[in-house]
Amino acid sequence: MNKIVVTRQIPQKFIAQLEEIAEVEVWNEKFIPMPREKFLLSIKDATACFVTLSEKIDETCLNEAPNLKIVANMAVGFDNIDIDVAKQKGVTVTNTPEVLTETTAELGFTLMLATARRIVEAEQYIQEGQWKSWGPYLLSGKDVYGSTVGIFGMGDIGKAFAKRLKGFNTKILYHNRSRQEATENELGATWVSFDELLEESDFVVCTAPLTDETKHKFNASAFEKMKSDSIFINIGRGAIVNEEDLVNALNKGQLLACGLDVLEQEPIAMDHPLLKMPNAVILPHIGSASENTRNNMIQLCVDNIKAVLNNKSAITPVNS
């Protein structure tokens, strides 16, 4: 009989669908990842697993699961999975593209506005009882309207983010591995080199996936090229940023502020220097966190598992 391992607590209506085709083992924790040792033990006889970014699917893991047919990853990115080894072993890997695009872009735009207008600082200012009077420059921030916004990574989320800029009369720059003329015509965006993106943008927004090429792309050299009053936003992957270099750049005044929904180590350590910086807005990786979108992501994982275990093609394979 097939066995499916689900590494996080998900609504029963989705478990019920999986139970129609297999025995299902669920790690019934919403916010605590399944311990690595427990996961390796659970997948020994599994034919499918439903995982999140918290689970590392490497060669060790795949060697422990000789019966595994599919890894359904509840995310668009899949840098937590060794795709090449999975393919060698005949294991299908799937992700959840498209269903989270608009929600993630919306969160990114929210983060940009909140950082630019110092919303978190302003709320804390009131909570701490500091608001005694109005002042001409009290918590003055930075306008998005009429600014130049540079997007690093013009994939689906980058395009959705750019669409939201239309009502703000912004100049849209982007850098991508390849030019996208259709996107340029549709959105009025201009392809520029990476250095030009950094040098000319008032806001630099990272929506790129993590690859060997993008890891620590935003480092000391990159931050030195940015405007001193620019704001850096990351809704891509945490490891695209060298966080030590980011902290140094903020301390040196090489950029005005940052807003991050993703970190290299998640959850962030409570002694991380970014948490002590008033001009850094840090969120707990909630880019796709709307009820509707999370339901759609889970359903797509379930549908991929059902397809593969029924000897059909996966819906959204990443290593076909």
Active site positions, annotated? 237, 266, 285
Place of tokens 């502020």: 257
CA distances to 94, 201, 283 from 110, in Å? 29, 18, 11
Strand 171-175 and strand 189-191: pairing?
parallel
Measure the CA–CA gap between 106 and 90, rounded to whole angstroms.
37
Measure the CA–CA gap between 219 and 228, rounded to whole angstroms.
15
Measure the CA–CA gap between 248 and 193, rounded to whole angstroms.
24
Residue 151 token pair: 């997007």
Please name the residue ranges forming H helices in 188-312: 194-200, 220-225, 243-252, 291-309
Q: Could you give the angle at the alpha carbon of 156 between the alpha carbons of 152 and 162, nearest 5°?
A: 60
